[in-house]
């Protein structure tokens, strides 16, 4: 558990969409490797939010290289940006991606985070979809403290 909230850095945030077709296990955490739809400039990024969708997942969390903390969110069913949600579900509450929970953690483009998902049933056939909200904080090797934030490292529970 984190002992403090590292504030989200100032700057323009944007979404990195990813997918994965990893088979999930019932009532266990499964690590998936995100396949990003777009390339992004080399540098250091701070994750300030996450939205995750899967037919069987109930939760998702970000796994940053070298960190023991794993901030996470409640998962949804459907597609949040295309409006094709199942059962009329709305998007995750904005506090999970508007900086309210501070910095989830940082990563370099050469070592992006993994995602862990907790599913209620095993699933071998469905694609998971997710969106990381990120702010570029500088070139490779930059830290949150260099941009006016607290020490580098993920904070507790960013959406």
Measure CA 8 to chain center.
14
What confidence score (pLDDT) does residue 76 get? Answer: 83
Question: What percentage of the chain carries pLDDT values higher than 90?
Answer: 37
List Cβ neighbours of 90 (8 Å cut-off, separation of 6 or more): none
- In this structure, what DSSP letter does residue 11 have? S
**Residue 41: pLDDT over 60:** yes
Residues composing the chain: 159
**Residue 150: pLDDT over 70:** no
Name the band, by pLDDT with cuts 50, 70 and 90, for residue 16: very high
Q: Over the chain, what is the mean pLDDT?
A: 80
Summarize pLDDT for 90-146 with one digit per residue, the tens. Answer: 577 777 777 788 899 999 999 999 999 998 888 776 788 999 999 999 887 777 764
Strongest mean pLDDT among 73-77, 145-149, 154-158: 73-77
Question: Could you tell me the strand order of the sheet in which 44-53 lies?
Answer: 35-36, 13-20, 128-138, 44-53, 105-108
- Asked if residue 106 lies in contact with residue 46, where contact means CB atoms within 8 angstroms, the answer is yes
């Amino acid at each position: 558990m984190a002992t403090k909230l590292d504030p989200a850095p100032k700057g323009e945030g944007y979404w990195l969409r990813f997918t994965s077709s990893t088979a999930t296990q019932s009532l266990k955490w499964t690590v998936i490797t995100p396949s990003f739809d777009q390339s992004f400039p080399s540098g250091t990024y701070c994750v300030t939010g996450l939205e995750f969708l899967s037919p069987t997942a109930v939760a998702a969390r970000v796994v940053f290289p070298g960190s023991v903390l794993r901030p996470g969110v409640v998962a949804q069913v459907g597609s949040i940006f295309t409006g094709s949600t199942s059962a009329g579900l709305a998007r995750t509450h904005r506090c999970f991606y508007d900086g309210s929970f501070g910095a989830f953690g940082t990563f370099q483009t050469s070592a992006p985070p993994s995602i862990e998902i907790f599913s209620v049933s095993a699933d071998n056939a469905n694609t998971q979809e997710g969106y990381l909200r990120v702010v570029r904080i500088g070139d490779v090797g930059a830290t949150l403290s260099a941009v006016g934030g607290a020490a580098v490292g993920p904070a507790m529970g960013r959406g």
